[in-house]
Amino acid sequence: MNDRNRVIRITTAIAGAVAVVVTLLMPLGYFLISYRHMTGSLETEAEINSRIISELVNANPDMWRYEQVRLEELLARRPSGGAQETRRLLDLDGKTVAESVTPLTPPLLRETRDLKAAGVTVGRIEISRSLFPLLAGTGAAALLGLGIGLTVFVTLRVLPLRAVFRAEEELCRLNEELELKVEERTRQLAEAQDELVQREKLALLGMIAAGMGNELRNPLGVMSNAVYFLQSVQPDATETVKEYLEIIREEIDNSQRIISDLLDYYRITTPRTAVVPVDALIGESLARCSIPENIRLRTETAEMPFAVRVDSIQMGQVLRNLVTNAVQAMPDGGSLRIRARKVQGTRNEERGNKDLNLEPRTSNLEPCADFVEISVKDTGEGIAPENMTKLFQPLFTTKSRGIGLGLAISRKLIEANGGRIEVKSCLGDGTTFTVTLPVGG
């Protein structure tokens, strides 16, 4: 702000100085030029008339004072278009001998020349002109100069300041763009760094999973069989024993599920697609899920049966994972709705909607084709907005148990089958996962 005020002050001072010079130069120049022209013209008139009358005086040196009529005729002669003048002939005593009087507005400019006879001064001629026209013209020139000065002032002040302010605004805009670009590049660098770290973690995890999967599964299988044997041979065991055996079995199942998720994430095979009825796919998936009694299940499918072309095993795994997540999101009970319907492919083009977890260049959907939407909606607590973009990242989880590979595996399976997954969620209003798959034949 201080720099701007200083620029304004300097520009105003320069524009004012130039405007004052222009304003004064116009009337001053006009006055000087016109005054010089007037005095030169008056001197010429006085010289010419003094010579003419001096000739008359030389012709009659004793009686010329009495030739008043002829003298007045000579004095009355004017060049055509000449300025108004008053002319007088005066003797040595200053008495008027003859005159040609024209009323003049003061102030007056006078020019005097001597009249000589045989080299002796016998009188003088006096010619007067009014300076009023010159002063009036000077006033008009002053007004014109004032107008030009104001124009110059406004021009020299406004245009440079406007250019400076535009340049300043442009610099501010470029600075903002640069800051945005720096922020964007910084964000991209941070994302790239996070992705690199994530890949390194996944690569290390993949090596561990590949190397230790079987080694861990074998003892877990033995432990599971041992628990089953103990439960079989001790049907009359105390409730405490049964409870601990059940806890051991659940922990073994959880460990096996983690190992399976790790292996599945790194060894997803090419899907063996076939035409599968949607209602059958949903029914088989639900049959393998455990849904508590405090959760109301509702399925909605079209009256006209339709099918999808997918790998039924892989899509069954996806639906079971989504249903399991929905159940876990409602520990106190709620409503679970599974709906299937046909849609047009153009509706599912990547729109970049910030409310959807859509990642560019991840969809395998063909344009202008029919697809099937299978949505799984729960009435749980919902997902926090800051977690929406992380849902499908490997190893991201908000649960106290699990390693965060279920949704990552589901997305890979869906994309491998030519589909896409979207999610909508609102805190306190539940979550909806929507799987879009190509329609069957």
One DSSP character per residue, 185-210 reads HHHHHHHHHHHHHHHHHHHHHHHHHH
Question: Residue 47 sits in which domain range?
Answer: 2-136
Q: Choose the final residue of a domain: 136, 151, 176.
A: 136
pLDDT for residue 338 is more than 70: yes
Q: What DSSP character marks residue 294?
A: T
| Cβ contacts of 34 within 8 Å, gap of 6 or more | 134, 137, 138
pLDDT for residue 363 is more than 70: no
The pLDDT, as a whole number, for residue 182 is 93
Q: What CATH number is given to the structural domain containing 41? A: 3.30.450
333 within a domain of the structure (yes/no): yes
| Cβ contacts of 253 within 8 Å, gap of 6 or more | 224
Nearest to 409 by CA among 307, 258, 203: 258
Q: Tell me the residue ranges of DSSP E strands in 57-119.
A: 85-91, 96-100, 108-117
CA 347/CA 341 separation, integer angstroms: 13
298 within a domain of the structure (yes/no): yes
CA-based max dimension of the chain:
176
pLDDT tens figures, 25-57: 889 999 999 999 989 988 888 888 888 888 888
Residue whose entry in the numeric block shows the structure tokens 């720096």: 182
434 within a domain of the structure (yes/no): yes
52 within a domain of the structure (yes/no): yes
Which spans in 60-124 are helix H? 68-76
Total number of domains constituting the chain: 2
pLDDT for residue 126 is more than 80: yes
CA 273/CA 309 separation, integer angstroms: 6
pLDDT for residue 436 is more than 90: yes
258 within a domain of the structure (yes/no): no
The pLDDT, as a whole number, for residue 350 is 41
Q: Choose the final residue of a domain: 104, 136, 168.
A: 136
Q: What CATH number is given to the structural domain containing 420? A: 3.30.565.10
288 within a domain of the structure (yes/no): yes
Cis peptide leading into 160, omega within 30 of 0? no
At 409, phi and psi to the nearest 5? -65, -40
Please, which pLDDT band fits residue 204 given cuts at 50, 70 and 90?
A: confident
223 within a domain of the structure (yes/no): no
CA 396/CA 409 separation, integer angstroms: 12
Q: Choose the final residue of a domain: 136, 164, 193.
A: 136
The pLDDT, as a whole number, for residue 334 is 92
pLDDT for residue 405 is more than 80: no
339 within a domain of the structure (yes/no): yes
Candidate from 70-79, 94-103, 151-160, 352-361 with smallest mean pLDDT? 352-361
